[in-house]
Amino acid sequence: MRIKALLLGAATGALLTAPALAADLPIAVKAPPLVYAPVFTWTGLYAGANVGYGWGEGSAPWDNYLAWHYAGWDATSYSGGSDPTGWFGGVQAGYNYQFTNNVVLGVEADFEFGSLNDKLNYSAFDAGLADQDFGSIETKIETFGTVRARLGYAMDRFLPYVTGGLAWGTVKVSENWSSFTDGAYDPFFSGSASKSQTLWGWTIGGGLEYAVTDNWTVKAEYLYADLGDINWDSAANTSIDVKLQTVKLGVNYKF
């Protein structure tokens, strides 16, 4: 009987201490699933706006122009030129596709408007006729734009790129002159003339774009454009060869 009692007491004690021992055992907890942040891609449509500064070169044979119009006069002179410079602003839109090797190929079109101009002032004097003329010729790029391919290499959110394609610009040339005889204004020999023409040429350049968020990007860009010639005066064989360099800052929204 004593042995049975001892065995029964031991068993009862084991049952009573089992919950306490179980409470001390570690409990297996299932780990939360891993969440991976999506990798940024430059692929997609985008549109935005920009501001910048441009400086042009409108080389023209102004010495020959004045010599033709004032042949036989005692003296002609001029100052200034036909190199339009100034600020501009505009909009752009395009599409990029990023390949698996991080090469980015895209196309972009932009439209710019602003006030890029330059003025040439001239004078001519004829002592024999007591005549004197004063005039000015203004060269102005009113609007311009490009349609370009872009080739870049994505370094996560940085995109350095080169670009090139078509360029166009609406160039206006206007002249005003005043004639004086014996110091008196002569309206008969005074006047004005102007010509506006949309020129087509080519452009090349490069830039750097950075994605601030998955949708908003900022960029800096340089372009060189050769717009070709505007035929100002066929009789005097005078054409203005218009070239333009621009730097601009822009912002885009990627859809």
pLDDT digits (tens, 9 = 90+) for 1-56: 444 444 345 444 544 454 554 455 455 556 566 555 568 999 999 999 999 999 99
* 203 occurs within a structural domain: yes
* 138 occurs within a structural domain: yes
* 222 occurs within a structural domain: yes
* 39 occurs within a structural domain: no
What's the rounded Cα separation, in Å, for the pair 188 and 181?
Answer: 11
From the DSSP assignment, how many helices (H) and strands (E) are in the chain?
2, 9
Domain tally for the chain?
A: 1
* Other residues' Cβ atoms within 10 Å of the Cβ of residue 223: 23
Residue (of 175, 101, 93, 109) closest to 140 by Cα position = 175
CATH number at residue 153: 2.40.160.20
Q: Give the pLDDT of residue 39.
A: 84
CA-based torsion, 39, 44, 50, 55: positive or negative: positive
Tens digit of each residue's pLDDT (9 = 90 or more) over 115-161 = 899 999 999 999 988 999 999 999 999 999 999 999 999 999 999 99
* 34 occurs within a structural domain: no
Whole-structure pTM value: 0.82
Q: What mean pLDDT comes out for the span 100-129?
A: 96
Q: What mean pLDDT comes out for the span 226-245?
A: 95
What's the rounded Cα separation, in Å, for the pair 43 and 123?
Answer: 58
Instruction: Determine the structural domain holding residue 227 and report its residue range.
Output: 44-254
Tens digit of each residue's pLDDT (9 = 90 or more) over 176-221 = 999 999 999 999 999 999 999 999 999 999 999 999 999 999 999 9
* 164 occurs within a structural domain: yes
* 20 occurs within a structural domain: no
